[in-house]
Chain A
């Protein structure tokens, strides 16, 4: 049998190829460049790559192609999500590049292999070593996410999921301060992530057993032609959803979120919280709409339950948190629930509203974690909420910016979060999920309580001797923070350009 070499649409794959090749070059830089210039080379490489890939995505955004057999779909939503991931990765990368906030270096351990508290670690810190391997990890994670939102095949999706997750597990364990907490977070994330991947694989196998294929097109075809005998299909969908719910941090697969958000280096938490949400929701929607659109009535109930649980559990537990990073982790669980309301709608309107929500949420989250990385005391970041009391009087600007982010997360008008929530809830009502939207509104009110509580604490409490100080960052964090704050407000006041872009993108192709 003669082999016909595959036809790949290299133009459409170009953004991913650029990121992938750059990641490999970045590893080579680690191997061959002298230590003194590594950081500089990596920064130039990473930001050139991400911006270059973003330009390519914008140039490509008119394309609607299936390539790589049927395994990759580059359509309107895919371009929007890839673009969003790249922009958020640039902002997250800027946070990771910050070297002026911690007196002893950047946010990462000087050598992740040194035992916490050992003489080795002390010496590496004194000598100013930097673990520049974080940059190839960032690029590989971005590659995985870009592939994840474009996967049109269960195998492709699984590999993309792993390419995305593996670097994140590593990055989570590399915090400079509180090393043990960071390592524990990484291990937890890795083990639970491996479990969820196993569920995903099991689900993929069952779907193959049902439909005889793992590509979304043939699966969807099998669903329309094989009515009645869908036990395997339903178990398979449930298993696949476990894997994806884990990534978006939905209840009851949310247990890793608070620990990982707290333990990971703050810039990584910000980057991860924003980009992984986009990637995982992108993949979830493509899977549900393109492959399993025919059994919408069967998975809808599952999403209802998970959405309600996520919104309520996330919002209620967040109230009792005393650590700001853990609070934002539970907030992200609740936000995942809100976004699921738009996913359940399963309509073009729902898809558009989820895309907008993800964009608004991403910028707000990165900005919020940028602020957290600046509010410090002698032992590092002051993540205890009590230490934020009276911050509004000590550092009015930073407190004001953080308040904007909190208001956006709470969904108060004139912020991106409001437009996002509005869109998602409107799509829910239009799809006939009024009861779900009512629960979502109640959960929003509960959630608003703890967001506003931080603002009240910052402005209406008097500074105590424990109140943290705000460190003046270098240009990296400043740019990222300014971009996050500007876009959060801009999306709330003039959302129309972004809404137009999303509307022009259309729906997933099959």
Chain B
């Protein structure tokens, strides 16, 4: 142990190993898990742990920004998008080039080892300035950042505006669907809906049966058959409609036998 390492106190060491370990686990989970939602949650775990490490390393501003912007805003938006778009786990994982995955794994591990050993050995020999000294130079962490951002790096800071504008315009170009027909008016829409004998009024609500209360359970019609109309379209398209057990139907019929309908 050199002098640089011994400056750490016990609490800091514990925080490092716990959060560092969790961050690595989250990163591994992100690439290993097959469901996009799980990956997103894993990366949120990694980010939160990194934020704690930043705070522990006397960079409270960076830690907070990491939580608010990345974990809070970006990852949660990402999750919303995943849930709304409904990406399922059936992404193709077939290797198109034979042996590609193995070669990639091998090279990745090789690079990882090289970097770990290289950086590890370098860190044991290099001295450090100390976090307090670095922060105090500009009168505090946030002040120091502000100094850099609005003085030395003001051009770089302005240039990021170009990046954001490009990203926003690019997203619009790739995703915004323009109409080439005039928008339909309310009467036209309603007329279109009923002309082909569409369902007037509300659709029946999903079945309840006093035990299931899920939207994927179809409602029962008076004759005991189920009404698929009561299940939302996307579920029907995905074949996610719950089967109705005939035994349940009989049971309910028994229970309601005496009741006048």
Asked if B159 is an interface residue, CB under 8 A from chain A, the answer is yes
Contact with B155, one of A1, A68, A133 (Cβ below 8 angstroms): A68
Query: Are B155 and A170 touching (Cβ within 8 A)?
Result: no
Asked if A114 is an interface residue, CB under 8 A from chain B, the answer is yes
Query: Are B154 and A156 touching (Cβ within 8 A)?
Result: no
A243 to chain B, nearest CB (A): 15
Q: How many residues of A are in contact with the other chain, CB < 8 A?
A: 57
A215 to chain B, nearest CB (A): 8
Query: Are B169 and A163 touching (Cβ within 8 A)?
Result: no
Asked if B126 is an interface residue, CB under 8 A from chain A, the answer is yes
B33 to chain A, nearest CB (A): 19
B203 to chain A, nearest CB (A): 29
A440 to chain B, nearest CB (A): 28
List, in ascending order, chain A residues with CB within 8 A of B173's CB.
Answer: 112-113, 131, 133, 170, 174
Asked if B190 is an interface residue, CB under 8 A from chain A, the answer is no
A169 vs B174: C-alpha distance in the bound complex, in angstroms? 12
A229 to chain B, nearest CB (A): 5
List, in ascending order, chain B residues with CB within 8 A of A127's CB.
Answer: 180
Asked if B118 is an interface residue, CB under 8 A from chain A, the answer is yes
Given contacts A123-B180, A136-B169, contact A112 B156 (CB under 8 A): no
Asked if A3 is an interface residue, CB under 8 A from chain B, the answer is yes
Asked if A120 is an interface residue, CB under 8 A from chain B, the answer is yes
Asked if B260 is an interface residue, CB under 8 A from chain A, the answer is no
A:70-110 near B, CB below 8 Å:
70-72
Q: Contact string, B165-192, partner A, CB cutoff 8 A, digits 1/0?
A: 1110110111111101000000000000
Stretch from B5-13, B70-78, B144-152, B235-243 that touches the partner = B144-152
Residue of A nearest to B175 (CB): A113
Given contacts A68-B156, A155-B153, A232-B122, contact A113 B169 (CB under 8 A): no
Residue of B nearest to A137 (CB): B166
Residue of A nearest to B120 (CB): A231
A232 vs B167: C-alpha distance in the bound complex, in angstroms? 33
List, in ascending order, chain B residues with CB within 8 A of A137's CB.
Answer: 166, 169-170
Query: Are A235 and B119 touching (Cβ within 8 A)?
Result: yes
Asked if A173 is an interface residue, CB under 8 A from chain B, the answer is yes
Contact with B147, one of A3, A24, A159, A166 (Cβ below 8 angstroms): A3
A234 to chain B, nearest CB (A): 8
A487 to chain B, nearest CB (A): 30
Q: How many residues of B are in contact with the other chain, CB < 8 A?
A: 39
B36 to chain A, nearest CB (A): 16
Q: Contact string, A1-42, partner B, CB cutoff 8 A, digits 1/0?
A: 101111010000100000010011001001000000000000
Query: Are A232 and B152 touching (Cβ within 8 A)?
Result: no
List, in ascending order, chain B residues with CB within 8 A of A120's CB.
Answer: 177, 180
Given contacts A156-B156, A231-B122, contact A6 B166 (CB under 8 A): no
Given contacts A3-B147, A8-B154, A210-B126, contact A23 B162 (CB under 8 A): yes
Asked if A143 is an interface residue, CB under 8 A from chain B, the answer is yes
Query: Are B125 and A6 touching (Cβ within 8 A)?
Result: no
B181 to chain A, nearest CB (A): 8
Asked if A475 is an interface residue, CB under 8 A from chain B, the answer is no
Query: Are B151 and A69 touching (Cβ within 8 A)?
Result: yes
A206 to chain B, nearest CB (A): 7
Asked if A381 is an interface residue, CB under 8 A from chain B, the answer is no
A160 vs B159: C-alpha distance in the bound complex, in angstroms? 8
Query: Are B155 and A8 touching (Cβ within 8 A)?
Result: yes
Q: Contact string, A195-232, partner B, CB cutoff 8 A, digits 1/0?
A: 00000000000100110100000000000000001011
A72 to chain B, nearest CB (A): 6
Asked if B252 is an interface residue, CB under 8 A from chain A, the answer is no
Asked if A111 is an interface residue, CB under 8 A from chain B, the answer is yes
Query: Are B119 and A206 touching (Cβ within 8 A)?
Result: yes
Q: Contact string, A424-461, partner B, CB cutoff 8 A, digits 1/0?
A: 00000000000000000000000000000000000000
Q: Which of B150, B152, B175 has the most CB of A within 10 A?
A: B152
List, in ascending order, chain A residues with CB within 8 A of B163's CB.
Answer: 159, 162-163, 166
Query: Are A69 and B153 touching (Cβ within 8 A)?
Result: yes
A188 to chain B, nearest CB (A): 13
Asked if A140 is an interface residue, CB under 8 A from chain B, the answer is yes
Asked if B225 is an interface residue, CB under 8 A from chain A, the answer is no
Asked if B103 is an interface residue, CB under 8 A from chain A, the answer is no
Asked if A167 is an interface residue, CB under 8 A from chain B, the answer is yes
Query: Are B169 and A27 touching (Cβ within 8 A)?
Result: yes
Asked if A144 is an interface residue, CB under 8 A from chain B, the answer is yes
Query: Are A6 and B169 touching (Cβ within 8 A)?
Result: no
List, in ascending order, chain A residues with CB within 8 A of B129's CB.
Answer: 212
Contact with A124, one of B146, B151, B158, B180 (Cβ below 8 angstroms): B180
Asked if B139 is an interface residue, CB under 8 A from chain A, the answer is yes
List, in ascending order, chain B residues with CB within 8 A of A240's CB.
Answer: none
List, in ascending order, chain A residues with CB within 8 A of B261's CB.
Answer: none
Query: Are A231 and B118 touching (Cβ within 8 A)?
Result: yes
A:147-206 near B, CB below 8 Å:
147, 153, 155-156, 159-160, 162-163, 166-167, 169-170, 173-174, 206
Residue of B nearest to A111 (CB): B178
A167 vs B170: C-alpha distance in the bound complex, in angstroms? 8
A167 vs B118: C-alpha distance in the bound complex, in angstroms? 36
Q: List 16 A-B contacts (CB under 8 A).
A: A1-B143, A3-B146, A5-B150, A8-B155, A23-B165, A24-B165, A71-B156, A113-B176, A120-B177, A127-B180, A156-B155, A159-B163, A170-B166, A206-B119, A229-B125, A232-B123
Q: 6 smallest A-B Cβ distances: which pairs?
A: A69-B152, A68-B155, A231-B122, A232-B122, A1-B139, A170-B170
